Amino acid sequence: MKVRVDSERCQGHTLCAMIAPEVFELSDVDGHSTAISEEVPAGQETKAREAISSCPERAISLIS
């Protein structure tokens, strides 16, 4: 399973990292998110899906 955060859409709501801290990390400076690695770590798939469905900006996509 692979995820990507669209940096143009992300506005730093931080919900993804709150829900799936092993999948997403936030910039110290502005709280904007990136996937720690494109490949979601084993066992984190449910949390990653929950993060996707909780993003207020719909900025996270499942790419495979």
Partner 1 sequence: MSTEDVARDEDRKKNRYHFDRHTPEYRQQFEAITQEMHATCPIAWSDTYDGHWVAAGNREVFDLARSAEFLSNDHDVDNVKRGYQGISIPKPQRAKGTRGGFLEMDPPEQRHYRQALNPYLSPAAIKRWIPVIDEVTRACLDEKIETGRIDFVDDLANIVPAVLTLAMMGIPVNAWTIYNEPVHAAVYTPPNSPDMERVAEMHMQMGRHLFGQLLEVRANPRPGLIDALVHADINGKNPPDLELIGVLALLIGGGFDTTTALTAHAIEWLSENPAERDRLSRERDTLLDSATEEFLRFYTPAVGDGRTISADCEIAGTQFKEGDRLWLSWAMANRDPAVFPDPDQVDLARTGNRHSSFGLGIHRCIGSNVARTVFKRMLLQVLDRMPDYVCDPEGTVHYETIGVINGMRFLPATFTPGPRLGPGLDETLEKIQQICDEQRLAEPVTSRKAQAKLPD
Binding string to partner 1 for residues 14 to 43, with x set by CB under 8 A, is what?
xx-xxx------xxxxxx------------
Indicate the burial class of 48 (C-beta count within 10 angstroms; 0-12, 13-18, 19 or more): buried
Q: Which of 7, 38, 50, 61 binds partner 1 (CB under 8 A)?
A: 50
Residue 28: CB minimum distance to partner 1, A: 4
Q: Is residue 28 a contact partner of residue 53, using CB atoms and an 8 Å limit?
A: no
Between CA 35 and CA 52 the distance in angstroms is 11
Write out the residues near partner 1 by the rule CB under 8 A: 9, 11-15, 17-19, 26-31, 50, 53-58
